[in-house]
């Protein structure tokens, strides 16, 4: 049965804490697409298709023509940053996109000026931001709420979503203040330093029923207090960490090895990158957050406890090195030691010369559009069907994350079919042969 989904009428405001490389590449990209200069490649919502019904029906619409998503022409961008550069300046500094492209959309990008950030330097020591709000955590949350309301009114938006594209925060685990909404709200009033800046934005959004997606590996909405708030205000949440670059490759390749029951005893991953993200990750406390997010992926795919002969002894090591000459063009090397029939050893080497923000921008767009769709479809709390886009997917407590990108895609597509009242596709396919037999 088709879900009752409210139409995507009016403007959608996408508000972004952190107008750095990813956010500016997203905003500039959407402007370029709107002007007909470029194509939204890598965005599943815009370019992806979905099979409907039986294979013989030949129904394969674009996803954007199947589910009622906001149109790119109806999107308005805004955001916050600890630096006051407008989006044109920030995009120029990030140096992801060529100046020839940026100059064609300069006026639109210059018009987007960041609001002052809710920031605490202890969470990103390598940033020297001055464009910041003052006050206790409670006051900061109230200011962010007011920012969102003012933006919505000034731009005439019908709906808002927030996507965290801010720097990776230092590593922290959930503690008592994160355990219930009541304690969290008291923590805001007490200016409890265990509440991170990203949580302040998330709280401000969820309190107003505004969906929140987290593109960084910090916990943010992945704490009981904010899950409680999301349920209370019937708001979708999704996290954590955009699945780009090396982890994208891992979640494509590892399911293939596991599918063929090939053994793996070592996976060494090295990275060099020179953007601001790399600078922040150069601090060991911030790197730890990223490392934890990246490490879980292989374990979840290989499930060594179920298959110790093949995967019980994997040595998995990840290194990230800040190397300014490469800018946003991250380079990664993977050395994978595998073994096959009778234990014979083989090696796979990957050298991925990737452009991190080029891979991340369409993910940020899709998360924003799907979170807005989920809200209109009355889906609230953790949106596990969006784990396709995330390195360290948030799940219900006690539930194993699914990291295999192909299973994640099936989950995403079946969720869309379910929303629209189409048959779910199991890929069993026996019916075609049964029908043939009956016809004889």
Ligand X SMILES: NC(=O)c1ccc[n+]([C@@H]2O[C@H](COP(=O)([O-])OP(=O)(O)OC[C@H]3O[C@@H](n4cnc5c(N)ncnc54)[C@H](O)[C@@H]3O)[C@@H](O)[C@H]2O)c1
User: Would you tell me which residues interact with ligand X (CB under 6 A)?
Assistant: 17-23, 80-83, 94, 117-119, 124, 127, 129, 165-168, 197, 215-216, 241-242, 244-245, 275-277, 280, 356-357, 359-360
CB of residue 72 vs ligand X: minimum separation in angstroms? 20
Sequence-separated (6 or more) residues with CB below 8 Å from residue 206:
212, 221, 226, 229, 230, 233, 235, 237
Nearer to ligand X, 42 or 263 (CB): 42
**How near is the Cβ of 58 to ligand X at its closest, in Å?**
36
Q: Of the candidates 412, 377, 397, 408, which has an alpha carbon nearest to the alpha carbon of residue 227?
A: 397
**Beta-strand relationship, 263-273 and 331-339:** antiparallel
Give the CB-nearest residue to ligand X: 20
For residues 91 and 29, the answer to whether their CB atoms sit within 8 Å is no
Supply the minimum distance, in Å, between the C-beta of residue 98 and ligand X. 17
CB of 82 to ligand X, least distance (A): 4
CB of 432 to ligand X, least distance (A): 41
The radius of gyration of the chain's CA atoms, rounded to the nearest angstrom, is 22
Classify burial at 164, counting beta carbons within 10 Å of its beta carbon; exposed 0-12, middle 13-18, buried 19 or more: buried
Alpha-carbon distance of 338 to 347, in angstroms, equals 6
CA distance 83 to 113: 10
Tokens representing 229? 């708030």
Compare residues 45 and 286 and give the one whose CB is closer to ligand X. Answer: 286
User: What's the min distance (Å) between Cβ of 280 and ligand X?
Assistant: 6
Q: Dihedral of CA 340/343/344/346: which sign?
A: positive
**In this complex, which beta carbon is closest to ligand X, that of residue 66 or of residue 138?**
138
Residues 6+ apart with CB under 8 A from 405: 243, 248, 251, 252, 255, 388
Residue 147's nearest CA partner among 222, 79, 98 is 79
Q: Please state the closest distance from residue 373 (CB atom) to ligand X, in A.
A: 22
CB closer to ligand X out of 21 and 365: 21
Note whether 255 and 247 are within 8 A (CB).
Answer: no
């Amino acid at each position: 049965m088709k879900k009752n989904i409210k139409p995507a009428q009016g403007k959608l405001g996408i508000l972004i804490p952190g107008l750095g490389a990813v956010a500016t590449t997203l905003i500039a990209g959407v402007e370029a697409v709107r002007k007909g200069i470029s194509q939204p490649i890598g965005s599943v919502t815009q370019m992806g298709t979905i099979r409907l019904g039986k294979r013989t029906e030949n129904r394969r619409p674009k996803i954007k023509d199947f589910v009622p998503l906001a149109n790119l022409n109806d999107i308005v961008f805004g955001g916050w940053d600890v630096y006051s550069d407008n989006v044109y300046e920030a995009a120029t500094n990030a140096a992801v996109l060529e100046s020839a492209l940026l100059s064609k959309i300069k006026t639109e990008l210059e018009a987007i000026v960041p609001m002052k950030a809710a920031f605490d330097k202890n969470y990103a020591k390598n940033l020297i931001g001055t464009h910041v709000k003052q006050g206790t955590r409670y006051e900061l949350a109230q200011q962010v709420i007011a920012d969102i309301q003012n933006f919505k009114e000034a731009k005439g938006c019908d709906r808002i979503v927030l996507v965290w594209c801010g720097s990776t925060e230092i590593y922290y685990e959930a503690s008592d203040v994160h355990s219930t909404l009541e304690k969290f709200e008291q923590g805001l009033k007490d200016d409890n330093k265990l509440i991170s800046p990203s949580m302040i934005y998330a709280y401000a959004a969820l309190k107003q029923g505004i969906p929140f997606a987290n593109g960084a590996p910090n916990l943010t909405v992945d704490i009981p207090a904010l899950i409680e708030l999301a349920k209370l205000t019937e708001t979708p949440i999704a996290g954590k960490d955009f699945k780009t670059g090396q982890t994208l490759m891992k979640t494509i390749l590892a399911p293939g090895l596991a599918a063929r029951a090939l053994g793996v005893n070592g996976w060494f991953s090295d990275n060099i990158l020179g953007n601001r993200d790399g600078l922040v990750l150069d601090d060991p406390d911030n790197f730890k957050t990223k490392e934890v997010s990246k490490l879980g992926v292989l374990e979840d795919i290989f499930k060594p406890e179920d298959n110790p002969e093949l995967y019980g002894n994997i040595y998995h090591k990840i290194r990230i090195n800040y190397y300014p000459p490469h800018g946003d063009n991250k380079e990664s090397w993977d050395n994978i030691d595998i073994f096959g029939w009778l234990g014979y050893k083989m090696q796979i080497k990957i050298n991925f010369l990737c452009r991190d923000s080029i891979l991340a921008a369409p993910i940020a767009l899709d998360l924003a559009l799907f979170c807005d769709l989920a809200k209109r479809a009355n889906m609230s709390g953790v949106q596990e069907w969006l784990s396709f886009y995330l390195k360290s997917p948030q799940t219900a407590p006690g539930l194993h994350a699914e990291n295999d990108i192909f299973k994640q895609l099936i989950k995403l597509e079946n969720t869309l079919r379910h929303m629209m009242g189409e048959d779910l596709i199991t890929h069993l396919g026996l019916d075609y042969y049964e029908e043939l037999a009956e016809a004889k």
